[in-house]
Amino acid sequence: MDHPELIGIEASGGTEGGGGTEAGGAGASERDRAGDRARARSLAETAARASYGRLLALLAAPTGDIAMAEDALSDAFEAALTAWPESGIPANPEGWLLTVARNRQRDAWKSAAVRTSMPLDAVPELAGGTAEPDEDTMSAIPDKRLALLFVCAHPAIDPGVRTPLMLQTVLGFEAAQIATAFAVPAPAMAQRLVRAKRRIRDARIPFAVPDADVMPRRLPAVLEAIYGCFAIGSATDPGAGTGAGAGAGADAGAEPEAGMGATADPDSLAGEALYLAETLAGLLPAEPEAAGLAALICLSQARAAGRRDTAGRFVPLDEQDPARWDAALIVRGEAHLRRASSLGRIGRYQLEAAIQSVHCARRITGRVDLAALRALHEGLARIAPTLGALVSLAAVIGESDGPDAGLATLDRIDPGAAQRFQPAWATRAHLLALAGRADEAAAAYDRAIALTTDPAVRAHLADRRA
Amino acid sequence: MRYALLLNYPEAGDVGLSDEDLAAGRAAFDEYLKALNTAGVFVSTEILQPVSVSTTVTTRNGELLIQDGPFADTKEKLGGVFVIEVPNLDAALTWAERCPAAQYGVIEVRPVAVTAQGDEWITPS
């Protein structure tokens, strides 16, 4: 998945189920045609999924006009649906799509040039294109998705729209789908995206990977936007990015906005975050935090199936059945983490991934290494003292040194900030219960429940309270 | 691509700057101008007099309204403009960062939409 390779003919074989087939009770030849059409549709969809971002980045880079590139690309996909069933699927579908899209773009430019007398040769990539699909195009194609990710998370772009922009431009999501994921009305999301794209074009935000000297300043925003996608995706996952191993039963460690509950389809959004993170890590092999983020998302996603029991009830981390975790994804996450640490620069995402790794190790060892967990949480609280990290540390200290020590750590957190932070209350409730302070625990559980939107987590906390 | 760096800062009179302060400021801008010219990105600049000598003009429904004072009465005022010619926003932001006024004011970076040469309107590319 790191580098969606060129889709060849083989991608079409055997994936019949991909596109909805419209073949009804028609005659054999007609059914064949319908089958071809379905196959073409399925292939086009696979192409869309695998190479949308690559094509879009390439089309948008010369002019910075993402909206125009999107139009050209969607025209090309439309054309594929018409042409491929008739003429057969081209040997290089991606190259075919790119050429058609470039032609559309050139047409649009010509008509714009007539209106504004803008010189066409101002756009080198448009000036000397070929009209015929070029089979060799793709072999020499540069991957501009990295530049596109940096455009999406550019400091001149509103932080709130960075993740949606990535979802739309790199993965090809519609504004309405993104709106659902972010629990925002569709027209509002569409408008934000349009505005951001106009800004990218008009202010001429460059499609460029920052130089090494600026990279440390620019990379965190990209990581944060991908992490944001993951955080929303795992909003219903108490225990994401935490240790609270601890059965604090809380979202300790997740960012405040996580746990507040988006209503989207979390699994798929976390899956997209994983795709973005692995893409970024693949494109920036020298950046340990990029690999660290990929590791974090892999290792957290690996436990997705364990977070609910068969009846759909919430299962806290320390009670999850490791047999239900995704072993292959854990192996992949560990590989990212090893690569990150081999680069010798520790960071927030690597620490969070290492915390996840300690939990995942229970699958093999049958136990949680509390000392390692505690050391990692202390490190995290030192280099990235977010509210989530501080609460997670308190939970883990409560686990290793007893509830009083955990409560004391919790009390040192700024109460103003923790007041509306669900994990702080869930952790406090858990520690108070362990300390035998039943009345106070009940009150803290009430606060935690009031701040929880996920019904399964609410039910779990209510159980604990009782 | 042509960008205007709009320099917004509290006026010298409002914050009570000494002659030495002003001399140091002028020296910093002198350096900045030289750097812009050396890089070949300088187009023009206008540093404005204080808003105390500003006059606003409006006509609404044919009625002329002339008032003393600036357009908006804020603590930080538009104090000057640098126009530069650079390839993209990142380059413009780097020049804004180097502008001495960034240390005590706010630099707004805006792409130039149109400019004029003689009687001709020109869209800078």
The identity of residue A371, as a single letter, is: A
Nearest to B88 among A116, A119, A206 (CB): A206
Give the mutation candidate from A116, A120, A204, A207 for the B interface (greatest B CB count, under 10 A). A204
Q: Which CATH class is domain A149-203?
A: mainly alpha
Using one digit for the tens of pLDDT, what is the confidence trace for B99-111? Answer: 999 999 999 999 9
Is A122 close to B1, i.e. CB distance below 8 A? no
> Is the CATH code 1.25.40 the one for domain A215-465?
yes
Is B123 close to A122, i.e. CB distance below 8 A? no
Is pLDDT larger for residue A75 or for residue A20?
A75
Using one digit for the tens of pLDDT, what is the confidence trace for A40-60? Answer: 766 666 556 668 888 999 999
The enclosing H or E element of B75 equals none
Chain B nearest-CA residue for A123: B125
A123 pLDDT band (50/70/90 cuts)? very low
Report whether pLDDT(A360) > 50.
yes
Chain B residues with CB under 8 Å of a chain A CB are 1, 87-90, 93, 109, 111, 123, 125
According to the model, what pLDDT value does residue A26 have? 44
According to the model, what pLDDT value does residue A32 have? 67
According to the model, what pLDDT value does residue A321 have? 94
According to the model, what pLDDT value does residue A129 have? 41
C-alpha to C-alpha distance for A316 and A184, rounded to whole angstroms: 29
Is A204 close to B93, i.e. CB distance below 8 A? no
According to the model, what pLDDT value does residue A66 have? 96
Is B88 close to A202, i.e. CB distance below 8 A? no
Strand B106-111 with B77-85, pairing: unpaired
Average pLDDT over residues A18-29: 42
According to the model, what pLDDT value does residue A9 have? 26
Buried b (16+ CB within 10 A) or exposed e, A72-90: bbbbbbebbeebbbeeebb
Q: Where are the domains of chain A?
A: 1-6+28-119, 149-203, 215-465
According to the model, what pLDDT value does residue A142 have? 66
According to the model, what pLDDT value does residue A254 have? 35
C-alpha to C-alpha distance for A202 and A210, rounded to whole angstroms: 20
Q: DSSP 3-state assignment of B84?
A: strand
Is B111 close to A204, i.e. CB distance below 8 A? yes
Nearest to B125 among A122, A154, A203 (CB): A122
The identity of residue A264, as a single letter, is: A
Report whether pLDDT(A439) > 90.
yes
A364 pLDDT band (50/70/90 cuts)? very high
For all residues of chain B together, what is the average pLDDT?
91
Dihedral sign from CA coordinates of B86, B89, B95, B100: positive
A372 pLDDT band (50/70/90 cuts)? very high
Is A119 close to B125, i.e. CB distance below 8 A? yes
Using one digit for the tens of pLDDT, what is the confidence trace for A380-424? Answer: 999 999 999 999 999 999 999 999 999 999 999 988 888 889 999
Long-range contacts of A438-441 (CB under 8 A, 24+ apart): A441/A465
Asked whether the beta carbons of A179 and A189 are under 8 A apart, the reply is yes
Angle separating helix axes A28-60 and A93-116, nearest 10 degrees: 60
According to the model, what pLDDT value does residue A437 have? 95
Chain A nearest-CA residue for B124: A118
A1-6+28-119 CATH choice from 2.60.40, 3.30.420, 1.10.1740, 2.40.30: 1.10.1740
Q: What is the 3-state secondary structure (H, E, C) of chain A?
A: CCCCCCCCHHHCCCCHHHCCCCCCCCCHHHHHHHHHHHHHHHHHHHHHHHHHHHHHHHHHCCCCCHHHHHHHHHHHHHHHHHHHHHHCCCCCHHHHHHHHHHHHHHHHHHHHHHHHCCCHHHCHHHHCCCCCCCCCHHHHCCCCHHHHHHHHCCCCCCHHHHHHHHHHHCCCCCHHHHHHHCCCCHHHHHHHHHHHHHHHHHCCCCCCCCCCCCHHHHHHHHHHHHHHHHHHHCCCCCCCCCCCCCCCCCCCCCCCCCCCCCCCCHHHHHHHHHHHHHHHHHHCCCCHHHHHHHHHHHHHHCCHHHHECCCCCECCHHHCCHHHCCHHHHHHHHHHHHHHHHCCCCCHHHHHHHHHHHHHCHHHHCCCCHHHHHHHHHHHHHHCCCHHHHHHHHHHHHHHHCHHHHHHHHHCCCHHHHCCCHHHHHHHHHHHHHCCCHHHHHHHHHHHHHCCCCHHHHHHHHHHHC
Nearest to B89 among A119, A203, A210 (CB): A203
Chain A to chain B Cβ contacts (< 8 Å): 28
Using one digit for the tens of pLDDT, what is the confidence trace for A101-114? Answer: 999 999 988 887 66
Is A203 close to B87, i.e. CB distance below 8 A? no
Nearest to A205 among B88, B123, B125 (CB): B88
The interface predicted TM-score (ipTM) is: 0.81
Provide the token pair at A41: 């549709």
Chain A nearest-CA residue for B108: A156
Tokens 């929303």 sit at which residue?
A232
Chain B nearest-CA residue for A207: B88
According to the model, what pLDDT value does residue B56 have? 86
C-alpha to C-alpha distance for B96 and B6, rounded to whole angstroms: 9
B23 pLDDT band (50/70/90 cuts)? very high
Q: What is the 3-state secondary structure (H, E, C) of A357-426?
A: HHHHCHHHHCCCCHHHHHHHHHHHHHHCCCHHHHHHHHHHHHHHHCHHHHHHHHHCCCHHHHCCCHHHHH
According to the model, what pLDDT value does residue A117 have? 52
Distance to chain A for B120, nearest Cα, Å: 14
Q: Comparing C-alpha atoms, which of A288, A295, A286 is closest to residue A356? A: A295
Is pLDDT larger for residue B123 or for residue B71?
B123
- Architecture, CATH, for domain B2-122: 2-Layer Sandwich (3.30)
